[in-house]
């Protein structure tokens, strides 16, 4: 029923322009009733307060599936990223997404840290969850603000980048030569010679070793890069492929070699130590920082600058322009510390 005449001659309006919003009123004339009906319908269309949208009751796990369908499955690290995000949401209790707040995440983060989880791990979780909300907002899948948009990641203590000196390199490769795995020594040689990541070396195929260089395609930065190698190493790699076939996963064998060689490395840097060793020796031998950026495939020079302190003459202005030469009676220990000249 919309407009209906009553037994007493008056006109009753009974309309529901949108579900859950009903209007009823009685007027003396039909014209007044019609104007009221038109006003109600127009107001529900034009004024959001008259036509509130139904609250989004979907939970975070459901939004994760929408993210996976719309965007996530196109990412190279999709499977691992989705699994990390899913486990995080389960630890959060899979709340209704629109009710989730920055305080909820801050409390979750505090519990994780108290449980011994590293700052880097919780920063990664924050990054993944924030990206999930941003992606769904971009696709108009959700119409509310990102609840953790203003949550800042925790500051991290810069870790030491371990690298090997000449003696340690010799010690490691002597051990690698004795390992039973057919590929581990050559993959390690490629990493040390080019500064590539372990996975990039493992993924090489014969067609990408040619013209005096190795050509990396499936890189972390998604950019192709080519690194020159000696003709001897090129011939050795191609001969190895003919004799043993393509490289297979042997990172565990490398880890065993590091242990057998008696090398102590920071956590998480075993396979990466060869990359750090290349970069460190490259800079120590006078290499250019911009060239190193291209060799390593860093998208940002800030990443490469971690090796700048190894360049000859780095920060030598401390000695040239610092107070040392003006206060030799303090810094010169030949006459006794603290004695005046």
Catalytic residues: 197, 220, 272, 275, 298, 307
Which residues is 214 bridged to in the sheet? Answer: 209, 227
The single-letter DSSP state of residue 144 is S
CA gap 13, 3 in Å, rounded: 5
Q: How is residue 177 written in tokens?
A: 């030569």
Tokens at 174, concatenated: 């002597």
| Most distant CA pair in the chain, distance | 120
Tokens of 125: 């979780």
For 186: left if phi > 0, alpha if psi spans -120 to 50, otherwise beta; the answer is: alpha
User: Residue 3: which H helix or E strand, with range?
Assistant: strand 3-5
Measured at the alpha carbon of residue 186, what is the angle toward residues 181 and 192, in degrees to the nearest 5? 130
Strand 209-210 to strand 21-27: parallel, antiparallel, or no bridges (unpaired)? Answer: unpaired
Q: How many CA atoms lie within 13 A of 285 on its CB side?
A: 9
179-200 in b/e form (b: 16+ CB < 10 A) is: bebebbbbbbbbbbbbbbbbeb
Phi and psi at residue 12, to the nearest 5° = -105, 130
Q: Please, are residues 246 and 205 in contact by the beta-carbon 8 Å criterion?
A: yes
* Angle, CA 122 vertex, CA 93 and CA 151 arms, to 5°: 85
Nearest to 97 by CA among 145, 60, 139, 67: 60
Closest among 238, 241, 222 to 230, alpha carbons compared: 238
């Amino acid at each position: 029923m919309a407009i209906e005449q009553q037994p007493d001659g008056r006109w009753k309006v009974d309309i529901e322009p949108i579900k859950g919003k009903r209007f009823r009123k009685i007027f003396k004339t039909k014209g007044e009733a019609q104007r009221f009906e038109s006003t109600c319908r127009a107001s529900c269309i034009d004024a959001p307060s008259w036509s509130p949208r139904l609250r989004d009751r979907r939970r975070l796990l459901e939004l994760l599936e929408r993210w996976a369908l719309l965007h996530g499955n196109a990412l190279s690290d999709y499977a691992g990223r989705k699994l990390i995000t899913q486990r995080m949401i389960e630890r959060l209790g899979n709340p209704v997404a629109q009710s989730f707040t920055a305080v909820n995440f801050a409390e979750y983060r505090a519990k994780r840290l108290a449980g011994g989880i590293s700052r880097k791990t919780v920063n990664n979780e924050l990054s993944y969850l924030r990206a999930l909300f941003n992606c769904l907002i971009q696709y108009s899948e959700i119409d509310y603000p990102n609840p953790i948009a203003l949550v800042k990641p925790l500051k991290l203590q810069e870790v030491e980048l371990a690298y090997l000196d000449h003696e340690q390199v010799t010690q490691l490769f002597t051990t690698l030569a004795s390992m039973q795995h057919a590929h581990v020594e050559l993959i390690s040689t490629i990493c040390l010679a080019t500064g590539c990541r372990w996975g990039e070396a493992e993924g090489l195929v014969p067609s990408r070793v040619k013209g005096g260089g190795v050509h990396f395609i499936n890189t972390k930065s998604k950019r192709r890069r080519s690194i020159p190698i000696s003709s001897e190493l090129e011939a050795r790699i191609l001969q190895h492929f003919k004799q043993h076939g393509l490289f297979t996963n042997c990172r565990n064998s490398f880890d065993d070699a590091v242990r057998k060689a008696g090398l102590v490395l920071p956590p998480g840097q075993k396979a990466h130590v060869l990359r750090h060793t290349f970069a460190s020796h490259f800079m120590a031998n006078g290499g250019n920082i911009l060239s190193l950026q291209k060799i390593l495939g860093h998208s940002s020079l800030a990443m490469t600058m971690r090796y700048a302190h190894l360049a000859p003459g780095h920060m030598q202005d401390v000695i040239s322009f610092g107070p040392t030469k003006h206060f030799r009676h303090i810094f010169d220990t030949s006459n006794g510390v603290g004695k005046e000249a």
